[in-house]
Structure 1
Amino acid sequence: MTDQPQNGAAAEPQMPQLKILGQYIRDMSFENIAAQKGLENNSQPDIQVQVNLDAKKRAAENQYEVATKLNITAKTKEAGDVIFALEVDYAGVFQIENIADEQLHPFLLIECPRMTFPFLRRIVSDVTRDGGFPPLNLDLIDFVALYRQEIARRAAAQQAAAGTAQA
């Protein structure tokens, strides 16, 4: 028998916990420009997708709101005319516990969007189909790469600001 304290389990780190409390569309706009202008387009469109992420603390303890904002534009390959434009701001409300402060920011901007993306993808597919186009099935988004690009962009902006302040 060993003389170890019985409360040894309290010293072990607890597993991170993530619960999705709710999801909703904060804002959405779809414009069928081809129909408005009477354009006929039978070719495969050139589709551009821009992704922005945002996270903020809510008033309730351990609750955060994480938004994924998509700006999707489809253009004709030949003339570059816009066929349709879709903007979606999709948010999730999360209860997050047992995450170290230094890990919270990447967790919010990587794991949370990863959890809500399948629902956002379905919305984009339904809206484009209901708008008179073939359903747009978005490719998976690499949220880790997106996060790293944003960190690199911020670091470059800080270096540029520091360089102009010294000049």
Structure 2
Amino acid sequence: MTETDPKGNGTQPAAATPPKVNMRILAQFMRDLSFENVAAQKKLQGSNVQPDIQVQVSLDANKRETENQYEIGTKFKITSKNKSDGQTLFIIELDYVGLFQIEGVPQEQLHPFLLIECPRMIFPFARRIISDVTRDGGFPPLNLDTVDFLALYKQELQRQAALQAQKGDAPVAN
């Protein structure tokens, strides 16, 4: 496609317009939820409880059979331990899934889009579930800080590159 130069000097190639990205959340749901109130089971009480919260987040993306649809899973494992004695207070495991319709994302940008933007869209809903479960479990509501999905994605790429480097250094068996 060409455009005519306004000064009448011939034609120039038109700037390529990027495709319009269209993303819709079709559904979201809890695939799995587990809450274990260890403190109540062990009858831990007292005002000397100072929680130390550890949060692990993992991501997964799968193409669905329907064209342009993807299933994005965010898994949270949260462990709260007492700082003074290391006793576990509670453990939460949440597998939260979003089903997305995505169009207009170039193929080379699709993987980071699925593992950065999609989890970012459904994170507030998972955070609310975690807050409600801890509150209903007898603890103050746990309001997770916002997860930096870009940093998490980069960290995973580095981990995979390190694994590939290890495999490359490994001796080949005959």
Is 1:105 matched up with 2:111? yes
Larger Rg computed on CA atoms: 2
Question: Retained in 2: the 8 A contact 1:63–1:96?
Answer: yes
Aligned residue in 2 for 1:63? 69
Q: 1:35 aligns with which of 36, 40, 53?
A: 40
Q: Please give the TM-score of this superposition, normalised by the length of structure 2.
A: 0.88
**Deviation beyond 4 Å, 4+ runs, structure 1:** none
Question: Retained in 2: the 8 A contact 1:21–1:93?
Answer: yes
SS of structure 2 residue aligned to 1:40: coil
Q: How does 1:123-162 map to 2 (within 5 A)?
A: 123-162=129-168
Q: CA RMSD in A?
A: 1.8
Deviations 1:17-48 (A, max 9, x none): 10000000000100001111111143320000
How far apart are the structure 2 equivalents of 1:32 and 1:130? 11
How far apart are the structure 1 equivalents of 2:32 and 2:171? 38
Segments of 5+ residues of structure 1 without an aligned counterpart are none
Greater per-residue helix proportion? 1
How far apart are the structure 1 equivalents of 2:46 and 2:65? 48
Q: Residue type matched to 1:118 in 2?
A: P
How far apart are the structure 1 equivalents of 2:157 and 2:171? 21
Segments of 5+ residues of structure 2 without an aligned counterpart are 6-13
Aligned residue in 1 for 2:25? 20
1:15 Cα deviation after fit: 1.2
Is 1:88 matched up with 2:101? no
User: Among the aligned pairs, what percent are the same residue?
Assistant: 62
Question: Retained in 1: the 8 A contact 2:134–2:142?
Answer: yes
Is 1:74 matched up with 2:80? yes
SS of structure 1 residue aligned to 2:84: coil
